[in-house]
Amino acid sequence: MTEKALTTPLGILKLIPFAVVTAMIVLFWVDDFLGFILAIFYFWITLPAIVLSIVFFVMGLRWRDIWQRIAVVWGGLNLLMLILYFLVQAPNQRCNPDIMAKHYEEHHTEMEALHRYVQSAISDSCEITLEFKGKRLEMFHVRGSDGIYSTHWHNEARQQRDSLLTVVGLSQKEYENIRKQLKGMGCLGIEYSQFSPERLTIWFRRVGWGLYSYTILNCPMTDEEKASAMNGVAIPYNDHCYFNYDGGAVGPDSFSKEEREDFLKKHKPW
C-alpha cells in the first residue's frame, strides 16, 4: 500500500475510530458525567471505536504506510490525553467526607471571608444561588425584595445576568469578586439568604448527579443545635461548619448512614 492509500475510502475509514475516541476523551474533559452517559448510551459506537483504535494502533507499529504512521501518532496522542485526564481531571471527579475535611482545613479562612463578603453585598430580604464552571455562569437563581423567586440556567442565566444582579443589589465588581473567591478556594457556587444571614452554603464539587457542599456559620452552634446536628443527616465538622450531600434527581438526599457514622468515628466535631 502506498501513501496514496490515505486518500482512498479504506484509508480514511481506518482513521475514523481514532476520531471517535478523541471526541470521547475531549467530552470527558469537558463534562465527565455527560461523557460517561453518552459512552454507555452509544456503546454500539464507542466500544467498536475503542477496539478498532487499539487494533489499528498495534498494526501501525509496523510503519508500513502513511495511514499506519498517522494511526500510531493519533493513538499515542489519545493515550496521552487519557493519561492526563486521569492525572489531572479525574481526581476532581470524586468526593467523600475525608476529601471535604482536607479541603475545608486548607480553605476555611477564605470560606469565612466569603460569608462576610456576601452578607454585606446582598440587599436586605434577598436570596441568591450562583454556580460557575470556570469563568462561565451556569446557574443564577434570585429572590428579590418583592418576594418573587426566579430560576435561571446556562444561556438564560448568562443573558439575564445584569438584570439579576440588580434584583439582589450586586454590582459587577461584587459579582466578579464572588466568582474569583470561589475559584480561589476550588468551589463551584453559593446559596445565601438574608433571611438566614448566619449561614452560607458553599457548593464544593459535583460528582455525577450528586452535589457536595459546606454550610458555613458565622456564630458557633448552640448546644441545642449541636445535638440536632448529631441527629441529622448532614455531617457536623465543627461548631462553625457542616458537610452536605444531595444526590440530585436520581440519587439519595444525604450521605449514607454508614459513610456518616464512619467519618464521625474518626472525627469528633466537638
Please give the pLDDT value at position 196: 97
132, β-bridge pairs: 137
Please give the pLDDT value at position 86: 79
pTM of structure: 0.77
Please give the pLDDT value at position 3: 46
The 10 Å Cβ neighbour count of residue 73 is 13
For residues 34 and 27, the answer to whether their CB atoms sit within 8 Å is yes
Please give the pLDDT value at position 249: 66
Q: Which residues in the chain come in under a pLDDT of 70? A: 1-11, 33, 63-64, 89-92, 249-251
The cell for 67 is: 495511514
Please give the pLDDT value at position 173: 97
For residues 162 and 173, the answer to whether their CB atoms sit within 8 Å is no
* CA angle (51, 55, 59) in 5-degree steps: 170
